[in-house]
């Protein structure tokens, strides 16, 4: 959490407030001051649930996890969307005492969780068509309002195509009316379900089936695309947040926080897609983390159109590390290195860093009060 | 009790009596007066426990209704023409999911050329969507059909579209009887949804069905519509018992028994047809009329029975399938396939052109002598079309045809000499 962030009624846990950085200077060991801790997964910043107090553990680590999206589905190995959806919806269930209804756009998430007679959904779930998840959500919310059921809450969800392209009309309408719906976009930056075609969320230079890595300017064009979280913020809705599947505590925190508001809310989750991105399934989390640590994907939250918090980059890495893990960018390195393009991507990432203030003064996380608290708690157990 | 009311206002009152819980509105003429009136009723709390939502498009409107109906709310919207086309994907989806809801279609032509006046090209464009389509001959019929539509929709779990002619009915003011709340409450049972988005009992609605069962699921939709063929007369009879007024049903005959010529129509044009029938009967011609109230499901048997065994049937259609001819006539021909009856089709009233008694009578007078073309476009100015065809032959770049035709007709300012 950034310094000076407005306090919110929510006090959930976040993964990224725990720092695993090895400090160059060992803090003083006194009973009242916390000391830096090292975790066994150095560099990953992940922390096992058993190291945290029960309320701060992930929903997933508890025996009461609801498995909104349960086993048996047909997602690819390493699917970021499947992971993101389960965490997001389970968190939404925890926040609402399991009273949620979900509207789903057409896409991977819809397809791999069904077809009839099988379904992985353990929540009431409806799929209508590709472009209308937000409006179907509005309809569910309206029906619940008419019936006086304010205990049941509504989530609408879609991939990036169903959000930023074909679904943007209904989504903008839902935002503008401030309907009581949480819309979750699982952004894998192209139309993966139909075979990896470009969407309005595909980044520049990325290879897709309709922006092939051929010709004089291989990959997706520069100067196109849209930033949906900012478009959502422009509607001045109560809550907008971005998250990745690398920081699941943060994701859960944001979903639960979103559920603490009434009205239109938007959470945009970056979900790497091994199939479409040409990445190793085992690298899904790593790539998601690098998206944030490079500055390519700014992780932040906003209330009523104003940014209220950013997840700082812990140790900034060059975009190359992110790009090299994905075949959709292979043409930037083979047969010859395209420094000009790589530099342009770096400039975009650096622009995000400046724009959202993703670095602390010294490029490191500024420990907040919460950080200290958790560090103090963990101090006795580790190191 | 009869009151002097605009068709739209009366329909709005009838819909409100049905106690809808979610209403969507997106403006398109000529349906606007209906949702405006409903919006006012929600706002001044005449209509309680109802959410009135101004959406961003017709596609949004139908999608909101899909969510609302699946959550167990009695749902309503109205649209016309382009609006219906814009929501078409969701229109099919609502029917495919088997979600009850009622939509008024204030019938209006589809562009291009853009035209706000009445014909049935909008209703015909979605005739295969799986919605039940009822056509109102009059504003009184429109009022009654809306109340029956909610009953029917919820009974068989399919969406119902009540078609009423744009402007001709929606904007006409005439003495109407809107049933009182007590009657409607007695008539309309509470909505018990067949499928419900309920956290207490979670279901997945709208998942994929492959070749293994798609035929069966689609046939089920057909079977439900066939069931509606039985339900519609029952629902109409029940309404008559309570209101004392005959309305709804599958088809209605007018002086049709033993007639040599039967004229078939839908919607408000039936009034003009019946006037023509009266006049021709007065001059000793054996002629009658049939009004089709239920267009989907198409009442093949009921129509065959109503038609009987005349020498000829004339179908008056306010829409047509370009490159084919009348859509209604194709369906009627199927109903009468085993009978040796000569069929004539008259396409009339496109884009709001008045179907005048004189033209209709001239046309029917020819038909009774078997002196009518198989397909006639009523009052078509053939010369003006020929002249545009000539222009198109003369120049590769003849320009927008609609403009040329109007210029030719002299409805636009003639060009100043030498300007071209």
User: What CATH number is given to the structural domain containing B221?
Assistant: 3.40.50.970
Q: Count CB atoms within 10 A of the CB of residue B381.
A: 12
What gap in Å lies between CA B219 and CA B393, rounded to an integer?
48
Q: What percent of chain A has pLDDT over 70?
A: 81
In a domain, B383, yes or no: no
Place of tokens 């003083």: A28
In a domain, B347, yes or no: yes
Q: Are residues B50 and B115 in the same domain?
A: yes
In a domain, B306, yes or no: yes
- Partners of residue A115 in chain B, C-beta under 8 Å: 207-210
Going by C-beta distance under 8 Å and a sequence separation of 6 or more, which residues neighbour residue A4? none
**DSSP state for residue B72 in the 8-state scheme:** T
* Interchain pair A132, B60: CB under 8 A: yes
* Chain A nearest CA to B419, separation (Å): 44
Nearest CA in chain A to B54: A177
Give backbone dihedrals phi and psi of B143, rounded to 5 degrees, phi first.
Answer: -60, -50
Select the residue from A70, A97, A110, A142 to test the B interface by mutation, using most B Cβ atoms within 10 A. A142
Q: Please tell me the total count of domains within chain B.
A: 3
In a domain, B237, yes or no: yes
Q: Which of A77-81, A323-327, B336-340 has the lowest mean pLDDT?
A: B336-340
Place of tokens 């309005």: A200
SS3 A232: helix
SS3 B261: strand
Measure the CA dihedral A158/A162/A164/A170, to 10°.
-100
Q: Are residues B361 and B400 in the same domain?
A: no
In a domain, B382, yes or no: no
* Chain A nearest CA to B114, separation (Å): 23
Query: What's the mean pLDDT in A251-278?
Result: 98
CB B334 within 8 A of CB B299: no
- Partners of residue A135 in chain B, C-beta under 8 Å: 55, 59-60, 63-64, 67
Nearest CA in chain B to A115: B208
Going by C-beta distance under 8 Å and a sequence separation of 6 or more, which residues neighbour residue B361? B276, B279, B280
The pLDDT value given to residue A54: 76
Cα–Cα nearest to A179, from B364, B5, B68: B68
Sorting pLDDT into bands at 50, 70 and 90, what band is A369? very low
The residue range of the domain holding B227 is 2-243
The pLDDT value given to residue B338: 82
- Partners of residue B191 in chain A, C-beta under 8 Å: none
Q: Are residues B83 and B125 in the same domain?
A: yes
Nearest CA in chain B to A135: B64
- Note the pLDDT tens digit of each residue in A188-204: 999 999 999 999 999 99
B170-to-A16, B33, B55, B220, B409 alpha-carbon distances in Å: 61, 8, 22, 34, 30
Going by C-beta distance under 8 Å and a sequence separation of 6 or more, which residues neighbour residue B348? B269, B316, B317, B318, B355, B359, B360, B377, B378, B379
What gap in Å lies between CA B174 and CA A300, rounded to an integer?
60
What gap in Å lies between CA B290 and CA A186, rounded to an integer?
56
* Chain A nearest CA to B209, separation (Å): 6
What is the 3-state secondary structure of A110-146? HHHCCCCCCCCECCCEEECCCCCHHHHHHHHHHHHHH
Mean pLDDT of chain A: 86
- A vs B, Cβ pairs < 8 A, gives 158
Q: Are residues B68 and B177 in the same domain?
A: yes
Q: Which of A304-313, A350-359, A370-379 has the lowest mean pLDDT?
A: A370-379
* Chain B nearest CA to A195, separation (Å): 18
* Chain A nearest CA to B321, separation (Å): 28
Cα–Cα nearest to A255, from A104, A22, A89: A89
Nearest CA in chain B to A122: B202
Q: What is the CATH number of the domain that holds B336?
A: 3.40.50.920
Q: Count CB atoms within 10 A of the CB of residue A224.
A: 12
The pLDDT value given to residue A185: 98
Sorting pLDDT into bands at 50, 70 and 90, what band is A95? very high
Place of tokens 């492959």: B210
Q: Count CB atoms within 10 A of the CB of residue A357.
A: 14
- Partners of residue A141 in chain B, C-beta under 8 Å: 67
The pLDDT value given to residue A4: 39
* B246-256 exposure pattern, b = at least 16 Cβ within 10 A, e = fewer: ebbbbbbbbbb
Sorting pLDDT into bands at 50, 70 and 90, what band is A31? low
CB B37 within 8 A of CB A154: no
Domain termination residue (choose one: B189, B211, B243): B243
- Note the pLDDT tens digit of each residue in B347-357: 999 999 999 99
The pLDDT value given to residue A63: 81
Q: Are residues B15 and B36 in the same domain?
A: yes
Q: Are residues B83 and B129 in the same domain?
A: yes
* B274-310 exposure pattern, b = at least 16 Cβ within 10 A, e = fewer: bebbebbeeeebebbbbbbbbbbbbbbebbbebbbeb
Measure the CA dihedral B276/B282/B283/B289, to 10°.
40
* Interchain pair A173, B197: CB under 8 A: no
Q: Count CB atoms within 10 A of the CB of residue A215.
A: 8
Q: Are residues B358 and B277 in the same domain?
A: yes
Q: Is the pLDDT of residue A14 over 50?
A: no
What is the 3-state secondary structure of A144-188? HHHCCCCCCEEEEEEEHHHHHHCCHHHHHHHHHHCCCEEEEEEEC
What's the token pair of residue B69?
């109906």
Q: Are residues B95 and B120 in the same domain?
A: yes
Q: Are residues B72 and B154 in the same domain?
A: yes
In a domain, B384, yes or no: no
- Note the pLDDT tens digit of each residue in A113-139: 998 999 999 999 999 999 999 999 999
Could you give all domains of chain A from N- to C-terminal order, each with its CATH number?
A: 15-379 (3.40.50.970)
Q: Are residues B209 and B273 in the same domain?
A: no
Nearest to B67 among A114, A136, A148 (CB): A136
Q: How many CA atoms lie within 13 A of B39 on its CB side?
A: 14
Classify burial at B15, counting beta carbons within 10 Å of its beta carbon; exposed 0-12, middle 13-18, buried 19 or more.
buried
Q: Is the pLDDT of residue A18 over 60?
A: no
* Chain B nearest CA to A96, separation (Å): 11
Q: Is the pLDDT of residue A156 over 80?
A: yes
Q: Are residues B84 and B177 in the same domain?
A: yes
A167-to-A164, A228, A275, B94 alpha-carbon distances in Å: 6, 11, 23, 18
In a domain, B260, yes or no: yes
Mean pLDDT of chain B: 96
Q: Count CB atoms within 10 A of the CB of residue A354.
A: 10
Cα–Cα nearest to A274, from A57, A76, A31, A15: A76
Q: Are residues B143 and B178 in the same domain?
A: yes
In a domain, B179, yes or no: yes
Cα B294 from chain centre: 9
Cα–Cα nearest to A8, from A257, A271, A256, A325: A257
Going by C-beta distance under 8 Å and a sequence separation of 6 or more, which residues neighbour residue B114? none
* Interchain pair A139, B63: CB under 8 A: yes
């Amino acid at each position: 959490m950034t310094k000076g962030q407005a306090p919110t009624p929510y006090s959930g846990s976040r993964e990224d407030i725990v720092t695993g950085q090895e400090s160059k200077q060992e803090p003083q060991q006194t009973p009242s001051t916390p000391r830096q801790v090292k975790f066994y997964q150095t560099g990953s910043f992940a922390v096992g649930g058993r190291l945290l107090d029960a309320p701060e553990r992930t929903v997933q680590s508890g025996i009461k996890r609801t498995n909104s999206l349960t086993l048996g589905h047909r997602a690819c190995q390493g699917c970021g969307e499947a992971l993101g959806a389960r965490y997001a919806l389970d968190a939404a269930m925890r926040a609402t005492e399991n009273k949620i209804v979900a509207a789903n756009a057409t896409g991977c998430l819809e397809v791999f969780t069904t077809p009839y007679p099988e379904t992985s959904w353990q929540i009431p779930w409806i799929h209508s068509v590709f472009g209308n998840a937000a409006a179907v959500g509005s309809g569910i919310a309206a029906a619940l309002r008419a019936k006086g059921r304010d205990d049941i809450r509504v989530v609408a969800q879609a991939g990036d195509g169903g959000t930023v392209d074909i679904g943007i009309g209904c989504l903008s309408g839902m935002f503008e009316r401030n309907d009581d719906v949480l819309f979750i976009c699982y952004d894998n930056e192209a139309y993966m379900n139909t075979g990896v075609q470009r969407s309005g969320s595909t980044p520049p230079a990325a290879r897709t089936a309709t922006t092939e890595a051929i010709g004089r300017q291989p990959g997706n064009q520069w100067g196109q695309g849209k930033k949906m979280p900012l478009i959502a913020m422009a509607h001045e809705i109560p809550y907008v947040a971005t998250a990745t599947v690398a920081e699941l505590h943060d994701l859960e925190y944001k979903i639960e926080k979103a559920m603490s508001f009434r009205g239109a809310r938007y959470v945009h989750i970056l979900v790497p897609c091994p199939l479409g991105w040409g990445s190793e399934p085992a690298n899904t989390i790593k790539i998601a983390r690098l998206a944030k640590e490079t500055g390519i994907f700014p992780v932040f939250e906003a209330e009523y159109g104003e940014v209220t918090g950013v997840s700082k980059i812990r140790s900034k890495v060059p975009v190359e590390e992110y790009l090299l893990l994905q075949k959709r960018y292979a043409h930037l390195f083979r047969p010859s290195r395209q420094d000009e393009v790589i530099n342009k991507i770096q400039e975009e990432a650096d622009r995000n860093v400046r724009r959202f203030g993703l670095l602390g003064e010294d490029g490191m996380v500024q420990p907040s009060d919460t950080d200290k608290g958790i560090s103090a708690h963990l101090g006795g157990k580790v190191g | 009790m009869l009151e002097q009311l605009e068709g739209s206002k009366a329909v709005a009152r009838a819909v409100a009596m049905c106690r809808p819980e979610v209403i969507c509105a997106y403006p398109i003429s000529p349906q606007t007066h209906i949702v405006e009136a409903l919006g006012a009723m929600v706002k001044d709390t005449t209509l309680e426990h109802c959410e009135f939502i101004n959406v961003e498009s017709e596609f949004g409107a139908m999608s909101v209704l899909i969510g609302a109906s699946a959550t167990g709310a009695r749902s309503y919207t109205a649209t016309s023409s382009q609006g219906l086309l814009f929501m078409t994907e969701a229109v099919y989806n609502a029917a495919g999911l088997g979600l009850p809801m009622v939509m008024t279609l204030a019938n209006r032509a589809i562009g291009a050329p853009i035209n706000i006046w009445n014909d049935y090209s909008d209703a015909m464009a979605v005739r295969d969507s799986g919605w039940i389509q009822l056509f109102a001959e009059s504003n009184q019929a429109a009022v009654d059909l809306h109340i029956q539509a909610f009953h029917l929709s919820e009974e068989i779990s399919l969406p119902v579209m009540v078609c009423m002619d744009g402007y001709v009915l929606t904007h006409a003011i005439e003495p109407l009887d809107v049933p009182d709340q007590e009657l409607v409450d007695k008539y309309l049972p509470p909505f018990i949804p067949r499928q419900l988005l309920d956290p207490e009992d979670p279901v997945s609605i709208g998942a994929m069905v492959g070749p293994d069962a798609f035929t069966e699921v689609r046939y089920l939709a057909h079977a439900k519509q066939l069931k509606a063929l039985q339900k519609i007369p029952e629902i109409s009879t029940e309404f008559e018992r309570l209101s004392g007024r005959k309305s709804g049903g599958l088809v209605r005959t007018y002086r049709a028994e033993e007639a040599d010529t039967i004229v078939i129509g839908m919607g408000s044009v039936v009034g003009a047809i019946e006037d023509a029938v009266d006049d021709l009967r007065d001059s000793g011609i054996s002629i009658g009329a049939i009004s089709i109230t239920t267009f989907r499901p198409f009442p093949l048997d009921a129509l065959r029975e109503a038609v009987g065994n005349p020498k000829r049937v004339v179908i008056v259609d306010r829409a047509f399938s370009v490159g084919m001819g009348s859509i209604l006539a194709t369906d009627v021909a199927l109903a009468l396939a085993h009978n040796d009856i000569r069929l004539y089709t008259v396409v009339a009233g496109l884009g709001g052109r008045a179907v005048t008694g004189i033209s209709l009578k001239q046309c029917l007078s020819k038909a009774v002598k078997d002196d009518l073309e198989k397909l006639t476009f009523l009052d078509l100015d053939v010369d003006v079309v020929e002249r545009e065809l000539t222009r198109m032959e003369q120049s590769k770049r003849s320009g927008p045809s609609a403009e040329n035709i109007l210029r030719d007709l002299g409805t636009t300012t003639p060009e100043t000499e030498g300007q071209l």
